[in-house]
Amino acid sequence: MKAPPANGSPANPAEGERKSINSELWHACAGPLVSLPTAGSQVVYFPQGHIEQVAASMQKEMDAIPNYLSLPSKLICVLHNVTLHADTETDEVFAQMTLQPVDKFLQKYDREALMASEMGLEQNKQPTEFFCKTLTASDTSTHGGFSVPRRAAEKIFPHLDFTLQPPAQELVAKDLHDISWTFRHIYRGQPKRHLLTTSWSVFVSTKRLLAGDSVLFIRDEKSELLLGIRRANRQQPALSSSVLSSDSMHIGILAAAAHAAANSSPFTIFYNPRASPAEFVIPLAKYTKALYTQVSLGMRFRMMFETEECGVRRYMGTITGISDFDPVRWKDSQWRNIQVGWDESTAADRPTRVSLWEIEPVATPFYICPPFFRPKFPKQPGMPDDEAEAENTFKGAIPCLGDDFGIKGTQSQLFPGLSLVQWMTMQQNSRLNSSTSQPTYVPSMAASIPDSICNDPTRLLSFQSHTSSLPNLQGGFKLNPSSQQSDQHQKAQQQNSTKIQIQQKQESLTHLKQDKHYNQQQDQQQILTKVQSLNEQLQPSSYQIQQQQTQTQNSHSIQGEILLSPTSHQSPVHFQSNYHFQQPVEQQQHSLLQQQIQMQLLQTLQHQQVLSQISAQLHCKLSQQLPVQNQQFHQQQNFQQLPAHQIAVLAMSQCLAYLAKCCKNFRTSMTCK
C-alpha cells in the first residue's frame, strides 16, 4: 500500500510474492512450536479449531450458530497442498492448505497406512543459525538504533573488519516479502557494542514495530541474511472485516467443510499460527499416536509453550476433567475435551481445556497400553468367545479405531459408575493381560466388584490386597505388593535394585538432602556402568529393548523405545522416550545419549512399578503418610476434610508430579547445552 521510503533502504520488492516465501524464515516467524504437516500426508481437520482461529482474529466470541450441517467434529483429509504466505501489511505468517476429505467408505485403517502417514509427521523446522530479540523501548524509539546482543552479532552477522576505526559495515537482510533492507552495522560505544543505526528506524516505522515485538535474523544455507518479525501478543486491531460478518465466516467454515465432506472434494483453509489458539490440522500419525494415550482424571502431563525469547518451555499440569467442550453443537468431539489445571500460579494465559494430541503424558502405570491390540473390525454382536469378552473388559482402557475412526466420546472417559479403585484395578488387569507371557483370560474385576465393597474403604482394602498383586516382570524389579510402610518399601527397593539407586541420585540433585556433594562427572560414569549392567540384565529376557536415533538436518532427536514382547505373535507393549536438540549432537555424545535414553526408559518402567505400589498403599492408608517424602504436598492439603476419592486422586497427582520432576531434572542435567 505504501510506497517504499525514498531513501531506498527497502529495495528489490518482489511484486506480490512471486517468489515463494523462505520456509526457514516462515517457521522462525511462526514460532518454535509450529509445525506444518507435509503435503500428500493424511491429516485430521477440526472445524472447531478453525472457528476458534477466526474468532480469535475477530476478537469476538462466535455466536451460537448451530452445527446444522451435521458436520462431524473431525474430518480425515488428504493434505494436497501447503503454501506459505505472509500478510503484505502486517507480515503475519499464515499457511494455505488444500484438504480433501477421505471418503468414509474408502477409509482404510491398517498399520501400513499409519506407518506411511507417520513419514509425513511434523518436523520442527526452526533454523539453527538464527537469533531473536525482543525490542526494547530504546530499540524502537526514534532517538537511537538497535542494540544487537553480542553473541547474536558474532554468530549471525558477517564478521566486521576490526582494523577499521570504528569497525562498521553495511548489512543487507531480506524480509518475508523478499524485500532487502540495508542497515549500518557498527561496533562502537564505551564499552564497545554492536549497533544497527542508519535505516533501522525506517524499518521500525515501516513494519510498525513497538517495544515488546521481536525481530529475528537468520543466516540461511547460502549465508544470506534473512530478517523477520514476530509481534507481541498484545491486542490486535480486531481485523474489522468490513465486508463479511463473523456469522458468515463462521457458517462459511462449516459449510465449506461440510460441502467438501459430502462430495469428498477439496477445500481450502488458512492456518494462521500466531492468531490461532491451537492447531486444527493435525497429522494423522500424531493424532493416532495420541489416541493411545489413556487419559484419566488426575493424570499428569506436560505441554509445550512458547517463551518470550523464542524458546519453548514445558509446563506441568493435571487433568481435572474430561468432557465435551461444546456438548450441544459438538457432542463427543475430541477438540479440547480435556479440562486441565496448571501447576504454576502464573498460568493465567494457559488454556483450561486442551486436546489429547497437545499434551505429553507423564508416564505412569495407567498409560501402558498395547497398540494394535484391538481387532481391526468391530466386534460382531453375540460373539461368544474370549476375545470378545476381553474387548468388553478393555473398553475404555484401550484406545481404538472404531467405525467412525476414533473413540466415541464416553469410551475414552472414566467409567462414570466405577470408583477410582475399581478403575485402577482394571488398568492393572489390562496391563497384566497384555504384558504377561501367558495370554490367559483374566476376569474383569470391574464387573465383579460389588458396590458394597466400593463404598467401604476397609473392605476395599482387603479386596485390593487380593487383587492388586502384580506379576513380576522378568529382568526387572521385584516389588512387594503387601508392604505397608513406605519407608520400608523404599529401603527395600534401594537394596533390591540398582535402578532405585539411580533414581535416588536424581532426587538428591534437587530436593533431598542426601548426597550434597554430588559430582556429575563421576555420577555419569557410574550411570553408564549401571546401564550396562541393566542391559545385560534385560537382554537375555523375553523382553526386548530397542533404540532408535535419528538426526535430520533440521532437527536433532534421539528416540528410545522399549518393546515388551511376551510372545512373538503378540503385539508389543512399548514405552517411548525422545530427546530433541536444537544443536547437532556431537558424534562422541551419541553413545552416551543412547545409554541415557535406555536408562530413562528403564526408570520409567521402574517408576511405574513404584507408583503401582504407592497407589495401592495410598488407598490403604488414605494418605496419612505419603509413600514418597513430599513436604509441600503435606502442607498444601488438608486431607481430613476431603472425601477419600479426592484424596486419592490428589495424592496420586502429587506423587506423579514428584517423580516426573525427578525424570525431568535428570534429563535437564544430561542434555547437551
Residues at the interface with DNA (CB under 7 A): 7, 136-139, 142-145, 147-151, 166, 184, 186, 188-195, 197-202
Edge-first strand order for the sheet with 168-174 is 130-134, 214-219, 225-230, 168-174, 180-188, 193-196, 146-148
542 binds, among a copy of itself, DNA, none (CB under 5 to 8 A by kind): none
Residue 34 is a binding residue for a copy of itself (CB under 8 A)? no
85 binds, among DNA, a copy of itself, none (CB under 5 to 8 A by kind): a copy of itself
Q: How far is the CB of 8 from DNA (least distance, A)?
A: 11
Q: How far is the CB of 136 from DNA (least distance, A)?
A: 3
Q: Which is nearer to DNA, 88 or 136 (CB)?
A: 136
184 binds, among DNA, a copy of itself, none (CB under 5 to 8 A by kind): DNA
202 binds, among a copy of itself, DNA, none (CB under 5 to 8 A by kind): DNA
Q: Which is nearer to a copy of itself, 237 or 540 (CB)?
A: 237
191 binds, among DNA, a copy of itself, none (CB under 5 to 8 A by kind): DNA
Q: How many Å apart are CA 549 and CA 346, to the nearest integer?
A: 36
Q: How many Å apart are CA 173 and CA 93, to the nearest integer?
A: 18
- Alpha helix ranges (H) inside 292-335: none
Contact with a copy of itself (CB under 8 A) among 110, 247, 344, 515? 247
280 binds, among DNA, a copy of itself, none (CB under 5 to 8 A by kind): none
Q: 261, 106 in Cβ contact below 8 A?
A: no
Q: Which is nearer to a copy of itself, 46 or 405 (CB)?
A: 46
Residue 136 is a binding residue for a copy of itself (CB under 8 A)? no
Distance of CA 2 to the CA centre of its chain: 41
Q: Which is nearer to DNA, 200 or 579 (CB)?
A: 200
Q: How far is the CB of 33 from a copy of itself (least distance, A)?
A: 18
Q: How far is the CB of 70 from a copy of itself (least distance, A)?
A: 13
Q: How many helices (H) and strands (E) does the chain have?
A: 19, 20
HSE of 125 in the Cβ direction (CA atoms, 13 Å)?
17
Find where cell 523405545 sits: 561
269 binds, among DNA, a copy of itself, none (CB under 5 to 8 A by kind): a copy of itself
Q: How far is the CB of 235 from DNA (least distance, A)?
A: 21
If one counts every other C-beta atom within 10 angstroms of the C-beta of residue 312, the result is 15
Please provide residue 533's backbone torsions phi and psi, each rounded to the nearest 5 degrees: -70, -35
Q: Which is nearer to DNA, 193 or 350 (CB)?
A: 193
Q: Which is nearer to DNA, 188 or 580 (CB)?
A: 188
Q: 194, 187 in Cβ contact below 8 A?
A: yes
Q: Which is nearer to a copy of itself, 94 or 666 (CB)?
A: 94
Binding to a copy of itself (CB under 8 A) within 566-605 occurs at: none
142 binds, among a copy of itself, DNA, none (CB under 5 to 8 A by kind): DNA
Q: Which is nearer to a copy of itself, 248 or 484 (CB)?
A: 248
Binding to a copy of itself (CB under 8 A) within 275-294 occurs at: 275
Q: How far is the CB of 305 from DNA (least distance, A)?
A: 23
Residue 2 is a binding residue for a copy of itself (CB under 8 A)? yes
Residue 267 is a binding residue for a copy of itself (CB under 8 A)? yes
Q: How far is the CB of 309 from DNA (least distance, A)?
A: 11
| Grid coordinates belonging to 413 | 472417559
Contact with a copy of itself (CB under 8 A) among 191, 237, 381, 540? 237
Q: 285, 118 in Cβ contact below 8 A?
A: yes
Q: How far is the CB of 214 from DNA (least distance, A)?
A: 12
Q: Which is nearer to a copy of itself, 197 or 272 (CB)?
A: 272
Residues 6+ apart with CB under 8 A from 177: 13, 14, 17, 86, 88, 91
Q: Which stretch binds a copy of itself (CB under 8 A): 22-30, 50-58, 161-169, 514-522?
A: 50-58
Backbone angle region of 46, left / alpha / beta, with phi > 0 → left and psi within -120 to 50 → alpha:
beta
251 binds, among DNA, a copy of itself, none (CB under 5 to 8 A by kind): a copy of itself
Pick the closest to residue 396 from 427, 371, 361, 433 (CA basis).
427
CB-based burial label for 219 (10 Å; 0-12, 13-18, 19+): buried
Binding to a copy of itself (CB under 8 A) within 76-105 occurs at: 85, 87-89, 92, 94, 96
Q: How many Å apart are CA 369 and CA 373, to the nearest integer?
A: 9
241 binds, among a copy of itself, DNA, none (CB under 5 to 8 A by kind): a copy of itself
Pick the closest to residue 138 from 129, 151, 147 (CA basis).
147
Q: Which is nearer to DNA, 142 or 223 (CB)?
A: 142
If one counts every other C-beta atom within 10 angstroms of the C-beta of residue 581, the result is 16
Q: How many Å apart are CA 421 and CA 615, to the nearest integer?
A: 9
Burial 280-297 (b: 16+ CB within 10 A, else e): bbbbbbbbbbbbbbbbbb
Q: How far is the CB of 548 from a copy of itself (least distance, A)?
A: 38
| Rg (the chain; Cα; Å) | 28
Residue 261 is a binding residue for a copy of itself (CB under 8 A)? no
145 binds, among DNA, a copy of itself, none (CB under 5 to 8 A by kind): DNA
Please provide residue 154's backbone torsions phi and psi, each rounded to the nearest 5 degrees: -70, -30
Residue 559 is a binding residue for a copy of itself (CB under 8 A)? no
Following DSSP, what letter does each residue of 13-67 receive, concatenated? Answer: --TTS-SPPPHHHHHHHH-TT--PPPTTSEEEE-HHHHHHHHHHHHTSPPP----
Contact with a copy of itself (CB under 8 A) among 6, 243, 328, 348? 243
Edge-first strand order for the sheet with 42-45 is 267-271, 93-101, 75-86, 42-45, 281-283
Q: Is 300 helix (H, G, I), strand (E, B) or coil?
A: strand
Backbone angle region of 601, left / alpha / beta, with phi > 0 → left and psi within -120 to 50 → alpha:
alpha
Q: Which is nearer to DNA, 69 or 160 (CB)?
A: 160
Pick the closest to residue 610 from 626, 621, 634 (CA basis).
626
Contact with a copy of itself (CB under 8 A) among 74, 125, 250, 286? 250
Q: Which is nearer to a copy of itself, 279 or 324 (CB)?
A: 279
| Grid coordinates belonging to 460 | 476395599
Q: How many residues bind a copy of itself (CB under 8 A)?
A: 42
Q: How far is the CB of 49 from a copy of itself (least distance, A)?
A: 12
Q: Which is nearer to DNA, 73 or 182 (CB)?
A: 182
Adjacent-strand bridge partners of 130: 218
Query: Using CB under 8 A as the criterion, which residues of the chain lie in contact with a copy of itself when the complex forms?
Result: 1-2, 53-54, 57, 68-69, 85, 87-89, 92, 94, 96, 208, 236-245, 247-256, 259, 267-270, 272, 275
